[in-house]
């Protein structure tokens, strides 16, 4: 899983491509720690992710919680398949996914 980071003037961007699994979680964690250490909003681009394991889901969820505590934005963009995987893992709200609404 290649993880790239880019500090721009207005935001810190993390791009992830390929498979995000247990073996690559440390790269994602390092990028998230670095980005949350900046004073910029963080954007996580998951559109190139083929598979997002539970470790990746947990790291992104925790990063969103940390950003909220710091009154900062963590915005992510995910494909519907990744959003569906997160919901199936029990994360009704996951960065980059819309909350499901509707009937019971």
**Residue 8 in contact with residue 35, Cβ under 8 Å?**
no
Residue-wise DSSP of 22-49:
GGGHHHHHHHHHHHHTSSS-EEEEEEEE
Under the banding of pLDDT at 50, 70 and 90, the label for residue 28 is very high
Mean pLDDT (whole number) for 15-31: 89
What predicted TM-score, i.e. pTM, was given to this entire model? 0.82
pLDDT digits (tens, 9 = 90+) for 29-86: 999 999 999 989 999 999 999 888 888 888 988 998 999 899 988 888 888 888 787 7
The domain made up of 3-88 has a fold known as Transcription Regulator spoIIAA (3.30.750)
Question: Can you give the pLDDT at residue 100?
Answer: 42
Measured at the alpha carbon of residue 68, what is the angle toward residues 65 and 73, in degrees to the nearest 5?
Answer: 115
């Amino acid at each position: 899983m290649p993880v790239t980071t880019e500090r721009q003037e207005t935001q810190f961007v993390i791009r992830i491509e390929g498979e995000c699994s247990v073996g690559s979680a440390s790269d994602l964690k390092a990028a998230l720690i670095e980005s949350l250490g900046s004073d910029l909003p963080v954007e996580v681009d998951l559109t190139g992710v083929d598979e997002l394991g539970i470790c990746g889901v947990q790291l992104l969820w925790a990063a969103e919680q940390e950003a909220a505590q710091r009154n900062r934005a963590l915005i992510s963009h995910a494909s519907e398949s990744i959003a569906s995987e997160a919901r199936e893992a029990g994360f009704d709200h996951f960065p980059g996914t819309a909350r499901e609404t509707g009937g019971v």
